[in-house]
């Protein structure tokens, strides 16, 4: 069958096509008018995902964020959100829904569950591909109720999202509270061990530079050096006093009384020498001058001896002082070494206290932060565009349905025309005659409608 044959068939069967088109359009229009009107509205939500772990506080890697949107879509369409929306809207207490529930289920089951299932059938959730936005679409016969359901689901999802975020934080706060108690006990135990060890060993300060015993050791070292210098100087003076008879020692020379006695003795000896040249031995003046010289010489020798003995005694005292300081220094050195060994052992306890303190401070800080976040009422979900009651129904779309019915009616009419022709095949062209008779066609007669003429013209033509 070529295109010319097809055209001839369609031209002959045009009534079938027209009637089929009319029936399709009329039926579609009737059905569209008979169908109940369905309204559709949407609520747009913006998700601000932070991606932090509630226990450690670390930011989750990007690989775990990829499934976040799909998870949120599943949460929106979950029964828990639907039940929360039912409770927030108070649908279970409305008489209309109670009557409908009693009629459909005869009172069997829970009205909350039935309403939740009904709302889930009305709601569709679609995430955005390139952004963190979710669209909650509700569809139903009542435009006001449809908007209420969409906004109710958005509110319920916000509440559930906040609850899902806060519950792990509250559990983490409980965990950190127990850990803080344990770490505080460990810290107190470590501090108790350190204090007991300091009391047993007599350690006042953990810092060796601030310790009293170390300071005393330094002072004894300085005193020993000073005592050694004084003892050496005193020994040198004592040696000089013993070597020269004691008359040329520095102590004797520096003694003012001895020098005065020497001057008086020299003066007395000069006077005695002068008198000895003029007077006899038995002369009273001679005897008096001699006695004065003897007295001054005896007093000088006595003072020189006392001065030398004092220098010798001072040397012995200083050497004894040096020995005492050296002994004290040796004892203090042993004591400091013992304290240093005890302090080395104590450093382990100090590190235990520091470690316990750091662990306690870190846990207390995380506890404070977690408690603050657990008491937060800020949700990661924001309503960008709340749903409004639609003014026009989303379905049935009568113009679109009529257009589709015209296309469908044309296609169905063409198909019925061809099927009708195939069921009752007729010769409509020379090509069909050749195909049927298998003989050549010598000529064709073009049939047309007869020309209508008025009677007056017919009478003229007969004459």
Backbone φ and ψ for 426, nearest 5 degrees, come out as: -130, 160
Q: Into how many domains does the chain fold?
A: 2
Residues in contact with 444: Cβ distance below 8 Å, sequence separation at least 6, in sequence order: 430
Which range among 54-68, 258-272, 323-337, 429-443 shows the weakest confidence by mean pLDDT?
54-68
pTM of the model: 0.51
pLDDT in tens, 349-406: 888 888 988 988 988 888 888 777 766 666 778 888 888 888 877 777 778 878 888 8
As a whole number, mean pLDDT of residues 153-181 equals 84
Based on the fold, state whether residues 305 and 399 are members of the same structural domain: no
Clarify whether residues 124 and 259 are in a common domain.
no
d(CA 184, CA 58): 24
The secondary structure of 141-183, three-state, reads: CCHHHHHHHHHHHHHHHHHHHHHHHHHHHHHHHHHHHHHHHHH
Rounded Cα gap, residues 321 and 234, in angstroms: 12
Q: Read off the tokens for 287.
A: 């005897």
Is there a domain that residue 174 lies in?
no
Place of tokens 């003897």: 294
Co-location of 135 and 219 in the same domain: no
SS3 state at 123: strand
Region 4-22: mean pLDDT is: 78
Q: What is the mean pLDDT of residues 162-179?
A: 81
455 located within any domain: no
What local confidence, expressed as pLDDT, does residue 437 receive? 63
List phi, psi (to 5°) of 141: -85, -30
Q: Look up residue 130 and give its DSSP letter.
A: S
Residue 243 is part of a domain; what is its CATH number? 1.10.287
Pair 229, 327 in one domain: yes
346 assigned to some structural domain: no
Residues 93 and 20 in one domain: yes
Shared-domain flag, residues 143 and 276 = no
Distance CA 384, CA 255 (A): 109
What token pair was written down for 202? 């007599």
Asked whether residue 51 is assigned to any structural domain, the reply reads yes
Question: 189-242, pLDDT tens digit by residue?
Answer: 888 888 887 787 776 665 554 467 677 778 878 887 887 777 776 666 656 555
Whether the predicted pLDDT of 458 surpasses 80? no
Residue 363 lies in a domain: no
Q: Domain ends where: 291, 322, 341? A: 341
- Look at residue 134 in the predicted model and tell me its pLDDT: 87
Mean pLDDT calculated for residue range 253-273: 75
Answer yes or no: do 221 and 277 share one domain.
yes
CB 43 within 8 A of CB 382: no
Give domain status of residue 19, yes or no: yes
Q: How many residues does the chain have?
A: 463
Give the residue from 452, 208, 229, 226 showing the smallest Cα distance to 339. Answer: 208
Residue 61 sits in the same domain as residue 158: yes
**126 secondary structure, DSSP code:** E
Distance CA 312, CA 306 (A): 10
Residues 157 and 38 in one domain: yes
User: Is 372 inside a domain boundary?
Assistant: no
Same domain, 21 and 82: yes
Name, in order, each residue with C-beta under 8 angstroms of 83's C-beta and a sequence gap of 6 or more: 112, 113, 116
In this structure, is residue 48 part of a structural domain? yes
At 251 the pLDDT is 61
34 CB-side CA count, 13 A? 6
Phi, psi angles (nearest 5°) of residue 251: -70, -40
- Name the residue range of residue 229's domain: 206-341
154 and 46, same structural domain?
Answer: yes
The end-to-end CA distance of the chain, in Å, is: 50
Q: How far apart are CA 283 and CA 287, in angstroms?
A: 6
DSSP per-residue letters across 226-249: HHHHHHHHHHHHHHHHHHTTTSSS
Note whether 247 and 306 are same-domain residues. Answer: yes
């Amino acid at each position: 069958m070529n295109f010319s044959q097809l055209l001839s068939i369609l031209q002959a069967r045009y009534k079938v096509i027209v009637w089929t088109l009319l029936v399709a359009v009329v039926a579609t229009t009737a059905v569209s008018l008979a169908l109940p009107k369905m309204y559709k509205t949407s609520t747009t939500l913006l998700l601000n995902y932070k991606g932090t772990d509630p226990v450690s506080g670390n930011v989750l890697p990007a690989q775990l964020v990829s499934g976040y949107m799909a998870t949120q879509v599943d949460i929106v369409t979950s029964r828990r959100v639907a039940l929360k929306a039912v409770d927030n809207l108070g649908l279970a207490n409305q008489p209309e829904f109670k009557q409908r529930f009693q009629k459909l289920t005869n009172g069997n089951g829970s009205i909350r569950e039935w309403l939740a299932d009904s709302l889930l059938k009305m709601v569709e959730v679609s995430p955005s591909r390139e952004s963190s936005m979710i669209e909650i679409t509700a569809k139903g016969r009542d435009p006001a109720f449809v908007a209420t359901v969409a906004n109710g689901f958005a509110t319920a999802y916000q509440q559930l999202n906040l609850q899902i975020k806060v519950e792990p934080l509250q559990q983490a706060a409980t965990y950190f509270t127990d850990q803080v108690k344990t770490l505080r006990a460990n810290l107190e135990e470590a501090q108790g061990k350190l204090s007991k060890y300091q009391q047993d060993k007599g350690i006042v300060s953990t810092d060796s530079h601030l310790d009293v015993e170390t300071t005393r050791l330094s002072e004894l070292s300085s005193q020993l050096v000073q005592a050694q210098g004084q003892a050496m100087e005193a020994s040198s003076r004592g040696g000089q006093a013993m070597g020269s008879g004691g008359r040329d020692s520095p102590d004797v020379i520096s003694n003012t009384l001895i020098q005065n006695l020497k001057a008086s003795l020299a003066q007395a000896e000069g006077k005695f020498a002068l008198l000895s040249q003029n007077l006899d031995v038995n002369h009273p003046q001679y005897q008096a001058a001699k006695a004065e010289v003897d007295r001054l010489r005896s007093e000088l020798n006595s003072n020189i001896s006392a001065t030398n003995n004092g220098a010798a005694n001072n040397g012995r005292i200083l050497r004894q002082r040096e020995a005492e300081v050296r002994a004290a220094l040796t004892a203090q050195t042993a004591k400091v070494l013992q304290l240093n060994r005890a302090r080395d052992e104590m450093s382990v306890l100090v590190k235990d206290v520091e470690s316990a303190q750091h662990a306690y401070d870190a846990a207390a800080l995380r506890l404070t932060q977690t408690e603050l976040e657990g008491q937060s009422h800020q949700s990661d979900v924001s309503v960008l565009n709340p749903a409004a009651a639609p003014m026009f129904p989303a379905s049935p779309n009568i113009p679109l349905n009529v257009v589709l019915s015209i296309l469908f009616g044309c296609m169905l009419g063409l198909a019925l025309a061809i099927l009708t022709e195939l069921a009752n095949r007729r010769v409509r062209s020379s090509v069909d005659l050749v195909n049927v008779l298998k003989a050549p066609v010598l000529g064709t007669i073009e049939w047309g409608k007869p020309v209508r003429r008025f009677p007056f013209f017919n009478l003229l033509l007969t004459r």
